[in-house]
């Protein structure tokens, strides 16, 4: 099973083209195909890989880092630690992926002939310092690695060897903090250095400079930032961390991250930083970014969605989990398997609860402002259930244990049982409904409501709690991720017959 976003019909494109917690997009083109990767932070497997034939419809085809030897995330890896800001490039029939593991291994480089995998073991880059590494090759094959800051060093991508110290290229707009996410391109007569700056919050933006060589000197664009929504009431905010790609008709496009805040003041985004698409024109040798909106004109070429039906339900009939399923820090066959009971996902608790870094958890990103999630749980041999998670200190859960269905809420230092209800023996259907707020009547209104409960045998929803969604937002919790909804086991073994995710957006 593959999971595809359906983002374009007719003459318009719906943004984001990849909704949900898929930040820091990097894109490349190989022939008629496009491939895109994103940051994955503390989740395993890491670096989701997407494919598209039109820049609009994207299908996840795998995860680049799907083995412990590629992705080491110790149990003390903090939330929003782990894997930051990959760059994906295609050269000489091979895909090159460079990324930072901030939780121990530093900068790493991987290669593959098929972006769906398998990807190579990591090439370590001890001489490359900083985050957000980028790869670019000049005409004689010299490979340059540029990092946040913005610094640059020459490397051998086959061995990881560096040549000489890193040198500073450009620090971005004077007074703007955090020059990061650099990407270097040869376009026409110039080398262009694209960066994000202003921080990844409301002041985020995209700026660019150009020079005659990949090492500079670089002249900043007089219109910088070429894209930002800072200081506006635009429904898409935090716009930045962009990458450029050329279409088959010669047109240029930019993928970037942004958020969709909801509710009152100051606005809360709960889905994380999402991937958006926007057209780019060139005027006097500088890129001019088109209007970024939730609905915009489609590319001029025919839209070509993959022949894959988006799946919202998983009956766990396959021997391996689909690529959109993610776990915390690592995943072992002993703790997570569909082979112990065919047609069931079995989770075996390896340690603590959702408050702990070693909880056994399998989830998928929340991709829609309103959605319904259901799962059938057999907890006769343990304790576990269904959770909406942002991190260890911010989550809501409904769990089955000892003949009770209980709702728990963790909001920072507050950890409390909200409601409970007896349940007869046997499997129980747990349900969570997220409802986005339509109209804000009060500046203190949250972005959504999270209704949590169970179903009667006839399918009637028994709501045990209705909780304010703002407490599971980045503005409250901090960090760089978004909501993940999934199943967990906190004691013994818990078996899940099926899991269903249904968008409810109008």
Active site residues: 24, 180
Closest by CA position to 119, among listed 137, 94, 91, 144:
94
Neighbours of 25 (CB within 10 A): 29
Among positive and negative, which fits the CA dihedral 18, 134, 40, 175?
negative
Q: Exposed, middle or buried, 471 (CB in 10 Å: 0-12/13-18/19+)?
A: buried
Q: Exposed, middle or buried, 114 (CB in 10 Å: 0-12/13-18/19+)?
A: exposed
Pairing of strands 12-14, 295-297: antiparallel
Neighbours of 37 (CB within 10 A): 27
Helix (H, G, I), strand (E, B) or coil at 419: strand
Contact 487, 383 (CB under 8 A): no
Residues whose CB falls within 8 Å of the CB of residue 492, separated by 6 or more in sequence, listed in order: 348, 349, 379, 381, 382, 383
Contact 299, 248 (CB under 8 A): no
Query: Position of tokens 């007089």?
Result: 222
């Amino acid at each position: 099973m593959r999971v595809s976003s359906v983002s374009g019909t007719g003459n318009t494109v719906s943004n984001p083209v990849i909704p949900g917690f898929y930040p820091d997009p990097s894109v490349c083109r190989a022939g008629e195909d496009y491939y895109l990767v994103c940051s994955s932070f503390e989740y395993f497997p890491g670096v989701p890989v997407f494919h598209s034939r039109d820049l609009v419809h994207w299908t996840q085809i795998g995860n680049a880092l799907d083995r412990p030897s590629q992705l080491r995330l110790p149990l003390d890896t903090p939330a929003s630690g782990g894997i930051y800001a990959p760059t994906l490039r295609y050269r000489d029939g091979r895909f090159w992926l460079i990324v930072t593991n901030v939780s121990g291994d530093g900068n790493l480089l991987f290669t593959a002939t098929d972006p769906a995998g398998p990807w190579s073991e990591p090439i370590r880059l001890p001489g490359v310092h900083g985050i957000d590494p980028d790869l670019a090759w000049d005409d004689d094959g010299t490979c340059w690695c540029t990092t946040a800051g913005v610094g640059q060093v020459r490397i051998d991508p086959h061995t990881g060897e560096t040549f000489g110290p890193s040198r500073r290229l450009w620090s971005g707009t004077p007074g703007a903090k955090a020059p990061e996410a650099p990407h270097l391109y040869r376009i026409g007569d110039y080398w262009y250095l694209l960066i994000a700056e202003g921080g990844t919050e409301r002041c985020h933006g995209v700026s660019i400079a150009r020079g005659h060589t990949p090492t500079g000197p670089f002249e900043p664009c007089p219109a910088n930032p070429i894209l930002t929504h800072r200081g506006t009431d635009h429904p898409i905010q935090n716009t930045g961390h962009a990458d450029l790609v050329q279409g088959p008709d010669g047109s240029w496009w930019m993928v970037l991250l942004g958020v969709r805040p909801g509710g009152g003041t100051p606005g809360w985004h709960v889905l994380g930083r999402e991937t958006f698409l926007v057209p780019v024109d060139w005027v006097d040798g500088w890129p001019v970014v088109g209007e970024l909106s939730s609905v915009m004109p489609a590319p001029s070429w025919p839209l070509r969605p993959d022949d894959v039906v988006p799946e919202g339900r998983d009956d766990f009939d396959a021997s391996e989990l689909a690529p959109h399923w993610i776990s915390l820090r690592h995943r072992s066959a002993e703790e997570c398997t569909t082979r112990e009971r065919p047609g069931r996902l079995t989770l075996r608790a390896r340690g603590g609860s959702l408050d702990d870094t070693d909880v056994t958890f399998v989830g998928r990103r929340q991709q829609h402002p309103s959605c319904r999630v259901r799962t059938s749980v057999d907890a006769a041999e343990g304790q576990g259930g269904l959770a909406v998670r942002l991190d260890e200190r911010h989550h809501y859960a409904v769990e089955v244990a000892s003949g009770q269905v209980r709702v728990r809420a963790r909001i920072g230092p507050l950890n409390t049982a909200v409601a409970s209800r007896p349940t007869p023996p046997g499997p129980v259907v747990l349900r969570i409904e997220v409802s986005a707020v339509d109209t804000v009547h009060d500046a203190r209104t949250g972005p959504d409501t999270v209704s949590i409960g169970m179903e009667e045998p006839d399918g009637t929803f028994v709501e045990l709690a209705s909780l304010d969604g703002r407490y599971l937002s980045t503005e409250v919790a901090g960090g760089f991720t978004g909501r993940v909804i999934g199943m967990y086991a906190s004691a013994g073994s818990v078996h899940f017959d099926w899991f269903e995710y249904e968008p409810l957006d109008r």
